[in-house]
Structure 1
């Protein structure tokens, strides 16, 4: 089977699609990837690449086609808009030329924001007579309004029209949350919609490798560390972490450690300084291969989302990573993500953006007997292996690819 994956984000950027591509290649699938120049999350083009010009390279057996891309910049709405639009534009014109000789049984679009990245996938699919699958990771236009990037009703209506067009021209829509099924189906009547959740690399569920040198993070090795890992942005409502740390600053054994960066990292750093929050630590980003070991040192793992209806339907990918890591989870969010943590009996959930409730939950975990905390972590890991195991989900994806491909059962 020959598959073209279209994703604005790809290695060395750290996204789920990387592990999926590697596993598909290992299973004998011929994979090509149409992507942009890496610039996430720093907002500048990664060393070894340049924004303009076409670039091809091999990665773990997959052929990568990189089109020009405007870097997103740091906390710049204009930069982000140009970043989004440039991938659509260059994907349509340069990307189509770069894959002109390719023949594909199916095209798979990794639908992180913006969903517009599916447009080049649909155009290439139309040219080549290939079926197209879109894996919807975020609901648009709801995500735009929830994060505050766009509030204008006319603009949101126009975006919704484009999203409806994308969905209606897709052969299969995969959704990362059960709560996405109804809103996606409403914009794509008659189109098949299937639940296909995220996972993480299996190393998150294994003891740290002795070959991986973990960075020294003193705040993680002393006291009770509450760890947040991932994007530090508007959607994560990081204000609740600052407020919770402020409420608990008189409990010196409790420390908050934030691994990651994003548009709100500078603001958090300013708050740490202005409020003298010695219990809130921002060590930044570290290589992805160190994250399983760092997470497994935590007393608890924290996931937060803003109090918006769209985020109540979303399952942040860090929920799966936290379950795999086998540490108790503190879920400060609403809806589907909180439901999963509760169903797995993997930790404690409190309403989104409720700092007082989160502080109480942190204290409850801190005061809990260690064997009870260990039980919560074990429950999460058991749930991960039953529902989100990487290999199991890759097998499911291959079944979707085969069933949807233009050659159907004849594709091998």
Structure 2
């Protein structure tokens, strides 16, 4: 089967779609990727890439066609708007001309912005190819929840755009079961919606022996609560900082932050102004293959999201990676993410945006002995193996493609038959 993957981000950017593309290739499929020139997260083109550089290449047997765009720069509103609009216009302009092979199915990896679905819809209409759309982020709800867009007119416009994209999908996949009602009721989609969660990426399962070649910082001693990922508005760092202040009297508790993002500078300033330098450590961003090295030094992993209805439906992809590490999880989250932590018996959780309760969860974890924490970590690993196994999920996706392609072909056969019957002489 020849599958065209349409995505905002792809290798050398670090997203799950990289592993999925190679995984499908290794299962015997022909994979082509249509994506933008890489600029995430630095906000500038990667070395060797540009408007007219490396527009087509091959990576691990996967063909890549890239469309140009305006880099996101410092991530401020104007930069993001220019990045989103240029991506939309130039992707739609390029896809009919660069993706000219015969494809059995189109697969959209829906990271923000959701407009990546439009060039896929365009090609579907031009070439009559079934479209599978994987929703990892609900729009327009996530825009208003993070404060990125506040205009009711803009939100309404994005909502109509989302409904248009969904209406042209042959199957929608969701990374959280809680997304299903939103896709149906707000998105207006009346087709089949399947649950397809994130899996644990290979980098998080095994420690790379070459990790020692990286210049890695030394961890502080004591009890380490570790956060890994994007430092943005959605991750609710005001609550994390307030919880750290609540535990100022426990100098042996350290907050380790791995990652970068739009709020990183703000967090750094807050740590200094609150006098938390001895306990709160921003280590910076490191390659994915180094994460097992860091995770194994943690005593607990930290997961937080803002207090907003949209985030109650969300299961952050890092939760699977945390479970796979064998470390207990502390969640300052609501909804499905909290339910999974409880169901897995893999740690403690409390309501979002509750600094005192988050501090209590950290303190409760701190007061457990190492055997009790280890038992929680093993429980999370077992849950991960049962529900988020990579090979099982890839096989399920493969079956989805076969099902959608077969149904689409049957539909075309019916249309052709009906058309021919209409012209038969009575």
Query: 2:107–2:131: 8 Å Cα contact kept in structure 1?
Result: yes
What is the match of residue 131 of structure 1?
Answer: 130
> What are the Cα deviations for residues 107-165 of structure 1, in whole angstroms up to 9, with x where unaligned?
00001111111000111111111100110011111011000011111111111111111
Structure 1 gaps, min length 5: none
Give distance in 1, aligned partners of 2:77 and 2:316.
Answer: 23
> What are the Cα deviations for residues 207-264 of structure 1, in whole angstroms up to 9, with x where unaligned?
x24333265433x351111110001001111111211222222211111111100000
Query: 1:106–1:130: 8 Å Cα contact kept in structure 2?
Result: yes
Segment of structure 1 superposing worse, 62-71 or 88-97: 88-97
Question: How far is 1:203 from its partner?
Answer: 4.2
Change (3 A) 1:377 1:331: same
Segment of structure 1 superposing worse, 314-323 or 120-129: 120-129
What is the match of residue 47 of structure 2?
Answer: 47
Query: 1:131–1:406: 8 Å Cα contact kept in structure 2?
Result: no
Question: What is the 5 A alignment of 1:104-123?
Answer: 104-123=103-122
Segment of structure 1 superposing worse, 261-270 or 288-297: 288-297
Tell me the TM-score normalized by structure 1: 0.95
Tell whether 2:82 aligns with 1:82.
yes
Aligned length: 407
What is the match of residue 239 of structure 1?
Answer: 238
Question: What is the 5 A alignment of 1:177-192?
Answer: 177-186=176-185, 187-192=187-192
Query: 1:54–1:68: 8 Å Cα contact kept in structure 2?
Result: no
Structure 2 gaps, min length 5: 411-426
Question: How far is 1:54 from its partner?
Answer: 6.5
Query: 2:204–2:289: 8 Å Cα contact kept in structure 1?
Result: no
Query: 2:208–2:289: 8 Å Cα contact kept in structure 1?
Result: no
Query: 1:204–1:324: 8 Å Cα contact kept in structure 2?
Result: yes
Question: What is the 5 A alignment of 1:255-404?
Answer: 255-277=254-276, 278-404=278-404
Question: How far is 1:407 from its partner?
Answer: 8.1
What is the match of residue 171 of structure 1?
Answer: 170
SS in 1 for 2:349: strand
What is the match of residue 25 of structure 2?
Answer: 25
Query: 2:130–2:408: 8 Å Cα contact kept in structure 1?
Result: no
Give distance in 2, aligned partners of 1:251 and 1:54.
Answer: 52
Query: 1:323–1:329: 8 Å Cα contact kept in structure 2?
Result: yes
Query: 2:204–2:288: 8 Å Cα contact kept in structure 1?
Result: no
> What are the Cα deviations for residues 188-222 of structure 1, in whole angstroms up to 9, with x where unaligned?
3421111110112134234x24333265433x351
SS in 2 for 1:226: strand
Between Structure 1 and Structure 2, whose CA radius of gyration is higher?
A: 2
> What are the Cα deviations for residues 43-82 of structure 1, in whole angstroms up to 9, with x where unaligned?
1111111145670111111001111011112231111111
